[in-house]
Amino acid sequence: MGQSGHFCKRATGLHILRKSRLGLMLGIVLLLIIAPQASASAIAVLEFELNDLTLNPDLVAETARTATLRPLLVEQLTDHHAINVIENPASARIEAEKGRGYLFDRPAVAAKIGREAGVKWIVSGRLHKASFLFVYLKAQLINTQTDRVAADFVVEIKGPQQKLTRKGVEALARQIYAALETLGAEQKIP
């Protein structure tokens, strides 16, 4: 009788083990189904590119400022507009290194990076400095399924650069959010 009780416990243990394996397998299958949908409800934001047309550019300072734009924009989109922004694939950096303005001038290449990242929308941006008195934040919202620019954005920044750069990015984030809503692509975090 002691053996059959031991057998019953062992059989129950095997049954639980089988159930947990089945649960694990179902969990993995659900992840495989849900993961692409999660990335489809996200956007990607490429690093901003510098286009300094001034006669005596301070490339070190402007390059440093340009490097702050993507993190500021991602912060605004995620924290203030609840948009899920994913990290860029390695190909984004490789493509950007092909030349100044390469991605901004080639929406199809940016769209390809977005498809690789698994998103429907990708933002390509540029800091356009035509004068020491003002700069333009330029951005494009690109549909990765059509390779086309769905919306163009321009924000003019005049005055003290550091404080107003943040304000300009805030304005740009509002424009991007409004465009996504208008396009019926509200990208809320689930």
Same domain, 34 and 77: no
- Give the Cα separation of 190 and 21 in Å (integer): 27
The reply to whether 190 falls in a domain is: no
Residues 91-134 have pLDDT tens digits of 999 999 898 889 999 999 999 999 999 999 999 999 999 888 88
Number of domains the chain is built from = 2
CB contact set of 63 (below 8 Å; sequence gap of 6+): 50
Percent of the chain having pLDDT more than 70?
74
Domain span at 32: 1-38
Q: Which amino acid is at 152?
A: D
Residues 140-175 have pLDDT tens digits of 999 999 999 999 999 999 876 667 889 999 999 999
Burial of 112 (0-12, 13-18, 19+ CB in 10 A): middle
Percent of the chain having pLDDT more than 90?
55
Same domain, 77 and 151: yes
Write down the mean pLDDT value for the chain. Answer: 82
Beta strands in 19-120 (DSSP E): 43-45, 49-52, 85-86
Helices (H) and strands (E) in the chain, counts: 6, 6
The reply to whether 46 falls in a domain is: yes
Count how many Cα atoms sit within 13 Å of the Cα of residue 114 in the half-sphere of its side chain: 31
Same domain, 65 and 90: yes
- 0.85 cut: is pTM over it? no
Same domain, 135 and 98: yes
Same domain, 53 and 102: yes
Same domain, 60 and 111: yes
